[in-house]
């Protein structure tokens, strides 16, 4: 196959870490392994711009950062935003429908290039709008209408829309979008570091007898982390410790909530260094991401690698991974009682869960095979 020049456009990038950034990094690495050239056009600030000094294929579109959510930047037009006109990519792939995505769309029109868009984030959900903009019900309803109209316009300009799950595909289809392909975000399992549970716990200062439930991901309002914080007291009675291995704009709120409840078993680990991430997965007995906001839930794939069973909210995109391996249980995302009952059940039945099907289905090479079929 001929070598392709591929331009990714994103409003979030390193040093921030979220599902979008992880997807871009994993996909870029595999595409470059196959001999393709991948260029990143990322909205960002000084820290992202510093990375561009070592990465000649990273172009930073500087702009305005959101105070409460500094990992997101609204890029303004500059020489970096138009650099694609010099590179002349064969494919332009937008990983955001907003500022950087618009620059990508404009470049695709000017170059008459295939334009692909991946739908990574439920930006139209009530949870997202209330977290990022307003809590007023009437304003939420109006904002949702406006956002949906905009998303429909933006993605109608693409040759294909990529949805990470069937769950998301159905939402987009119901919104009137067409040419939707399901391609989950893949993980490079072969490059992941193996850690043994006992050694990982020792390094983290945890006891071998501890029953650990892990939340790993951004700490923001729409992630529904409040549910497991509120469940912590009942989990404490069952012998569980809860580790929130992440940082984010909602951390102080959750610490205050946990203290007001009187929790004794919640550990806020804060930002986790890249080299320490495997330790937290390996040390856990259960991974729980209570968010119905996810379009896939990449953290669950990392848990599968470390053979850690997962607790997934019902009627969400996350539960789709259970089709490939019985690697955990579903729970009612609005019920503390159900969460606690399922946590006890999973812990008592750890040996019944299987993970190989998930690792096979979500391997990065499989995901990029599907992506190349769209690119070609």
DSSP secondary structure letters along 112-130: T-EEEEE----TTSHHHHH
Q: What is the DSSP letter of 349?
A: T
> Distance between CA atoms of 107 and 315, rounded to whole angstroms?
38
Q: Do residue 136 and residue 282 come from a single domain?
A: no
> What SS3 state is found at 173?
helix
**According to DSSP H, which parts of 61-196 are helical?**
84-87, 99-111, 126-132, 137-156, 166-174
Q: Do residue 325 and residue 270 come from a single domain?
A: yes
pLDDT at res. 230: 98
Domain span holding position 210: 191-361
CA distances from 152 to 99, 126, 227, 318, 354 (A): 16, 17, 32, 24, 39
| DSSP output for 255-315 | HHHHHHHT-SSEEE--S--GGGHHHHHHH-SEEE---S--SS-THHHHHHHTT--EEEESS
Q: Do residue 47 and residue 177 come from a single domain?
A: yes
Q: Do residue 197 and residue 169 come from a single domain?
A: no
CA angle (156, 69, 303) in 5-degree steps: 80
pLDDT at res. 143: 77
pLDDT at res. 138: 74
Q: Do residue 172 and residue 223 come from a single domain?
A: no
pLDDT at res. 65: 64
Q: Do residue 311 and residue 339 come from a single domain?
A: yes
Tens place of pLDDT per residue across the chain (376 aa): 689 999 999 999 998 888 899 999 999 999 999 999 999 999 988 899 999 999 999 999 987 665 555 555 565 556 677 789 999 999 999 999 999 999 999 999 999 999 999 999 987 666 666 655 666 777 777 777 888 899 999 999 999 999 999 999 999 999 999 999 999 999 999 999 999 999 999 999 999 999 999 999 999 999 999 999 999 999 999 999 999 999 998 999 999 999 999 999 999 999 999 999 999 999 999 999 999 999 999 999 999 999 999 999 999 999 999 999 999 999 999 999 999 999 999 999 999 999 999 999 999 999 999 999 999 9
Q: Do residue 58 and residue 172 come from a single domain?
A: yes
> What SS3 state is found at 135?
coil
Q: Do residue 181 and residue 196 come from a single domain?
A: no
pLDDT at res. 129: 60
What's the burial of 104, exposed, middle or buried (CB within 10 Å: 0-12/13-18/19+)?
A: buried
Contact of 229 with 240, CB cutoff 8 Å: no
Q: Do residue 261 and residue 322 come from a single domain?
A: yes
> Distance between CA atoms of 113 and 31, rounded to whole angstroms?
19
- Which CATH number belongs to the domain containing residue 330 in this structure? 3.40.50.2000
Give residue for tokens 């769209």: 374
pLDDT at res. 122: 86
Q: Which two tokens stand for residue 117?
A: 């868009």
pLDDT at res. 70: 54
What's the burial of 335, exposed, middle or buried (CB within 10 Å: 0-12/13-18/19+)?
A: middle
Q: Do residue 10 and residue 54 come from a single domain?
A: yes
Q: Do residue 152 and residue 241 come from a single domain?
A: no
Which is nearest to 340 in space by CA: 151, 254, 213? 213
> What SS3 state is found at 68?
coil
Pairing of strands 160-163, 211-216: unpaired
Number of domains in the chain: 2
C-alpha 372 chain-centroid distance? 22
Q: Do residue 322 and residue 371 come from a single domain?
A: no
Whether the bond between 371 and the residue before it is cis, its omega within 30 degrees of 0, is: no
Which is nearest to 13 in space by CA: 64, 56, 58, 78? 58
> Distance between CA atoms of 123 and 147, rounded to whole angstroms?
8
> Distance between CA atoms of 376 and 373, rounded to whole angstroms?
6
> Distance between CA atoms of 312 and 290, rounded to whole angstroms?
6
Which is nearest to 80 in space by CA: 26, 32, 44, 110? 44
Give residue for tokens 């906001």: 293
């Amino acid at each position: 196959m001929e070598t392709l020049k591929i331009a990714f456009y994103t409003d979030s990038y390193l040093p921030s870490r979220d599902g979008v950034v992880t997807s871009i990094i994993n996909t870029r690495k595999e595409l470059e392994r196959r001999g393709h050239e991948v260029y990143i056009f990322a909205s960002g600030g000084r820290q992202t711009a510093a990375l561009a000094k070592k990465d000649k294929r990273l172009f930073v579109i500087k702009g305005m950062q959101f105070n409460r959510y500094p990992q997101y930047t609204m890029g303004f037009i500059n020489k970096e935003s138009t650099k694609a006109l010099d590179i002349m990519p064969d494919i332009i792939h937008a990983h955001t429908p907003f500022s950087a995505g618009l620059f990508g769309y404009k470049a695709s029109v000017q170059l008459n290039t295939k334009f692909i868009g991946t739908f990574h984030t439920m930006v139209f959900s009530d949870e997202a709008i209330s977290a990022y903009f307003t809590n007023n019900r009437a304003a939420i309803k109006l904002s949702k209408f406006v956002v949906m109209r905009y998303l429909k316009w933006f993605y109608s300009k693409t040759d294909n829309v990529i949805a990470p799950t069937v769950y998301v595909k159905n939402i987009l289809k119901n919104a009137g979008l067409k040419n939707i392909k399901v391609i989950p975000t893949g993980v490079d399992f072969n490059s992941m570091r193996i850690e043994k549970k006992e050694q990982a716990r020792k390094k983290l200062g945890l006891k071998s007898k501890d029953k650990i439930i892990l939340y790993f991901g951004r700490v923001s309002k729409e992630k529904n982390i409040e549910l497991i914080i509120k469940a912590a007291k009942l989990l404490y009675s069952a012998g569980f410790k809860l580790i929130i291995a992440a940082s984010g704009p909602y951390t102080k709120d959750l610490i205050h909530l946990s203290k007001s409840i009187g929790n004794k078993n919640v550990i806020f680990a804060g930002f986790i260094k890249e080299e320490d991430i495997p330790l937290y997965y390996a040390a856990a007995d259960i991974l729980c991401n209570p968010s119905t906001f996810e379009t896939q839930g990449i953290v669950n794939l990392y848990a599968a690698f470390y053979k850690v069973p997962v607790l997934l909210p019902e009627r969400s995109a996350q539960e789709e991974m259970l089709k490939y391996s019985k690697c955990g249980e579903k729970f009612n995302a609005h019920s503390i009682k159900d969460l606690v009952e399922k946590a006890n059940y999973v812990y008592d039945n750890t040996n019944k869960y299987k993970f190989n099907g998930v690792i096979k289905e979500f391997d990065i090479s499989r995901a990029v095979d599907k992506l190349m079929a769209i690119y070609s």
